[in-house]
Structure 1
Amino acid sequence: MAVCTAVVLCATGLLGGTATAAQRSPDPAPPPDGDARHLDEVRKEIEGLYRTAERATEDYNAAEEQVQLQQKKIVQLARTIDSGQQRLAALKRRAGALASAQYRTGGIPPEARLLLSPDPESFLANADLTRKGQQAVKGVISQLTHLQRDLQGYAQDAGHRWGQLDADRKKKDAARTEINDRIDAAKKLESRLAAKEKERLRKLEDDQALLAQQKWLDSGALKDITGKASEQGKKAISYATSQIGKDYVWGAVGPDTFDCSGLTLRSWQAAGRTIPRTSQEQWRQLPRVALKDMRPGDLIIYFSDASHVGMYVGDGAIVHAPRPGRQVTLTGAGSMPILGVVRPDGDPAR
C-alpha cells in the first residue's frame, strides 16, 4: 500500500519536490497581473463560501444524528409508557379484588372478630393469613404509587424529547438552507468564468494546496512520522481509497457519494469500528495522538472549528472528500491547516 501510494503521490506532486521537464506539461502563458489578482480573489471567495457550507454540513449532520436519536428515544418511551399503563391496569384490578375481599369480612377489627368468633383457635390459625393479606394490599398500593410516579416521569421525558426533536429539526433545516445558499453562491461565481478561467482557477486551487503541502514538508513534520498501519487501519485505508473518484455530496455517507466525515465513518465501519458521524465529534471523542506518532489509518482533523477530516494513508498524504463539485481524492496532508490527529482503533499510547 505504501509503495503504491508513493507512486501516486509522486505522480501528482503531493510529496513536493520538482518534476522534470519531460514530466511536466508546458505551462500556459501567464495571465496579466490584473486578471491573476481577480482570479485569486474569486478563488478566495469561492473557498470561503465552500468552507461556510462545509461547517454548515457538519452542523446538519450533527442535527440529523440528534433527530434520529430523539426519535428512537421517543419510540422507546412510548413503549415503556404503554407497558407501564398495562401494568397499572393489572395492579388496579388486583387492588380492587383485595378491597372486595376486605369488604366481605365486614371491616370488623381483628380484636372484635376474635371475641365474637365461635372458634377462636380457627381465627388465630387464620390471623397470619390475614396479616399477609393486609401486607399484600399495602404492597399493591405502594407499587401503584411508584408506577404512577414513573409514568408521570416518562410522560415529562417524552414531552422534553418532543421539544428537543423540534429544535433539532429546526437546526437541521437552518443548516440545509445555509448549505444550499453558500453552494449556489459559489456555483454562480464559477459559472461567470469562461472555460479557460475555470481551468486556471482549478490550477490555482491545486497550486495553493501544493504550496501549503510544501511548507508543511519543509517544516520537517514528515521525517518523524514512521508509524505503520494496524490491520484495521489497512482495511479502512483500502475502503477509503477504493472510493476515489466518487462525488462529494453534503450529508452523504455512501455508497455512491460522500461528504468528508461520511467517508471516514464508512471507511472505519468497513474495518469493524463505529466512530462518530461528524468531524467535530470525531475530534472530541476519539483518542488523540501527536502528529509525530501518526500512522496510516489515523484521521487528520482540519481547521480550528474541526470542520474537515481526511484519512492519513502514509507518505505525507490523505484521502478525503474535499467539497461540492469535487471528488474523493488523494492530496497532501499539510495542504490545509491541521488541528490535530485522532486514532479510531485504539489507545493513543499505542
Structure 2
Amino acid sequence: MSGRLLRRVCTACTTTMLAAQAVLLTPASAVAAPEPPEPGGRSVAELLTDLQRLYREAEKAAEAHNTTEEKLKERRAEAERLNARLARTRLSLNESRGAAGRLARQQYQNITGISPYVRLLLARDPQHALDQGHVIGQLARERAETVGRLEGSEREADVLARRARAALDAQLTLTERKKKERDAVRRRLDDVERLLASLSADQLTAVADLERDDVAEAQQKLMASGALSDDRPPSTEGDRALRYAVDQLGKPYEWGAEGPAAYDCSGLTSQAWQRAGTPIPRTSQQQWARLDRVPLDALRPGDLVVYFPDATHVAMYAGEGMVVQAPRPGEPVKLSPIATNPILGAVRPDPEAEPVEDYKPLDLSDPHPPNDRTPNDA
C-alpha cells in the first residue's frame, strides 16, 4: 500500500475497499505470530492470513482459467486446420467422383466395341495397333489411379470429419470449463471484497503495517542467507524483456489480461519475453513446467521467479534482490522485494544465450530516469 493511499484512508476515511486492495502479499513463512484477538473481532494476523488465503485462491482460479483459455486457443486452431483440410478433401473427392463417372461412361460405351486383340489381328498396320494398345494400357492405369484416389479421398474425408467433430466437442467442453473457472475467480474476488469492506480504517492500517514488516523480515533473511549471489548481467533478450516489464510500471492488474492496458502476473512476463523475441508459455504453471530451472544464486535480470508450491504466481527478476510483478487486483505493476511471496524457484527462458558485456544495470531507485526512458511498446 502506498503511503499516500494509506494516509488517505486513515485521515479521510475513504472507502475501505480502495484502501485494502493495496495490501501486499507476504510469504506464509514470514507471517508474525498471531496477536491476541482484538475486542469484538479477529486479530490483525488472522485478518492478514485470511486476506492472503483469499487472494491466493483467486489467483489460483485465475491461472486455471488462463490455462483453459490457452487450451481453447489450441483447440480452435486445430478445428480451423481440420475444417480447412476437410474442405480441400471434399473438393478433391468431388473431382475424383466426376472422373470416376466419366470412366464408367467410357467403359459402358466400349462394351460393344471390338476387342483390342481382334483389332490387332485385323489391322493393316500392326505397329499402329500396338501403339494404340499402349495408349489403351495407359488409360487403364489412369483409370485405376483415379479409382484409387477416389477411395483414398473418401477414407480421408471420413477420418477428417470424425476428427473435426471431436475437435468441436473438445472446444465446447473447454468453453464450458472456462465459464465455470471465470465464475470461480469472480466468487473468490467477491469474498475478498466482502472481507475488505468489513474492516475499519484502523484495521486496514494495522494489516498493511504487519504485512510490510513481514515482507521486510523475509527479505532481510533471504539476503543475509547468501541464497542470492552478486547480480549477473542479463542476455540481450533478458535485458529487452526486463526493460519492457519496467516500462509497464503503474499499469493496473487485471486477471486474464495480457496488455497493453493491464496485466496479470503471467500476462506481464509472457508479453515481456514475447516482445524480446522469445515466446514463452502463457501461465505461471506452464512457465515453471516448461522452462529451464536455474538456482537462485545464478539469477540474472530477466529470469522468472515462481512462487507458491503450486506455481500460481510469477515475477521477473530485476536485480538487486528486486522483481517486477503484477501483484494482484487493486495493485499496479510494481517493483517488489523478491521475498514478497514464498519462492518456489526460478526459470530462464533463454538458457543458451550469452550475457551482455559491459551491462549497465537499470537504476531501480528510478527505473524511468528522464534521459534513459524506454519507449512504451504497448
What is the CA distance between 1:145 and its match in structure 2? 1.1
Local SS of the residue matching 2:43: helix
**Amino acid corresponding to residue 207 of structure 2 in structure 1:** L
For residue 68 of structure 1, what is the aligned residue in structure 2?
73
Q: Does 1:220 align with 2:223?
A: no
TM-score (norm 1): 0.85
Residue in 2 aligned with 1:19?
A: none
Counting only pairs closer than 5 Å after superposition, residues 52-131 of structure 1 correspond to structure 2 as: 52-106=57-111, 110=115, 113-114=118-119, 117-119=122-124, 121=126, 122-131=128-137
Give runs of aligned pairs for residues 202-281 of structure 1, distance below 5 A.
Answer: 202-222=208-228, 224-281=229-286
Residue 162 of structure 2 corresponds to residue 162 of structure 1: no
Residue 148, structure 1, aligned to residue 151, structure 2: no
- Residue in 1 aligned with 2:188? 182
TM-score normalised by length of structure 2 = 0.79
CA contact (8 A) 2:235 2:353 kept: no
Mark the runs of 5 or more structure 1 residues left unpaired by the alignment. Answer: 1-31
Partner of 1:288: 293
1:34 to 27, 32, 37: 37
- How big is each residue's C-alpha offset from its partner over 1:49-106, in whole Å with a ceiling of 9 and x where there is no partner? 1101111111111111111221122122112111111111111111222222222222
Q: For 1:244 and 1:274, how far apart are their aligned partners in 2?
A: 21
Instruction: Give yes or no for contact 2:270–2:280 (8 Å, CA) kept in 1.
Output: yes
Structure 2 counterpart of 1:238, which letter? Answer: R
Indicate conservation of the 8 Å contact 1:287/1:348, yes or no. no
Provide the rounded CA distance (Å) in 1 between the counterparts of 2:140 and 2:311: 64
Name the CA shift for 1:57/1:109 in 2 (closer, same or farther; >3 Å): farther
The Cα shift of 1:115 comes to 6.7
Give the Å deviation of 1:211.
2.0
CA distance in 2, matches of 1:288, 1:349: 16
Which letter does structure 2 place at the counterpart of 1:340? G
* Structure 1, 180-189 or 287-296: larger mean CA deviation: 287-296
Find 2:305's aligned residue among 278, 282, 300.
300
119-128 or 299-308: bigger deviation: 119-128
Task: Using the TM superposition, give the Cα deviation of residue 110 of structure 1 relative to its aligned residue in structure 2, in angstroms.
Answer: 4.5
CA contact (8 A) 1:289 1:348 kept: no
Q: What secondary structure is seen at the aligned counterpart in 1 of 2:258? A: coil
- Conservation of the 8 A alpha-carbon contact between 2:233 and 2:300: yes
Seen in structure 2, the aligned counterparts of structure 1 residues 109 and 45 have a Cα distance that, compared at 3 Å, is: farther
Question: Shift of the alpha carbon at 1:225?
Answer: 4.0
Could you list the per-position Cα deviations for residues 24-69 of structure 1 after superposition, in whole angstroms to 9, with x for gaps in the alignment? xxxxxxxx84339622111111111110111111111111111122
Q: Which amino acid aligns with 1:231?
A: T
Q: Which amino acid aligns with 2:270?
A: L
Instruction: Kindly state the Cα deviation for residue 269 of structure 1 after the two structures are TM-superposed.
Output: 1.8
How many residues of Structure 1 are paired with residues of Structure 2 in the alignment? 318
**1:173-220 per-position Cα deviation (integer Å, ceiling 9, x unaligned):** 121111111111011001111122212222222222222222212221
Deviates more, 1:286-295 or 1:118-127: 118-127
Which of 136, 143, 150 is 2:142 aligned to? Answer: 136
Contact 2:120 2:130 in 1 (8 A): no
Match of 1:335 among 323, 332, 340: 340
What is the Cα deviation at residue 112 of structure 1? 5.1
Structure 1: distance between partners of 2:299 and 2:119:
86
For 1:34, what is the secondary structure of its paired residue? coil
Could you tell me which amino acid in structure 2 is paired with residue 158 of structure 1?
A: A
Note the residue ranges of structure 2 that are not aligned, 5 or more in a row. Answer: 1-34, 356-378
SS at match of 1:249: coil
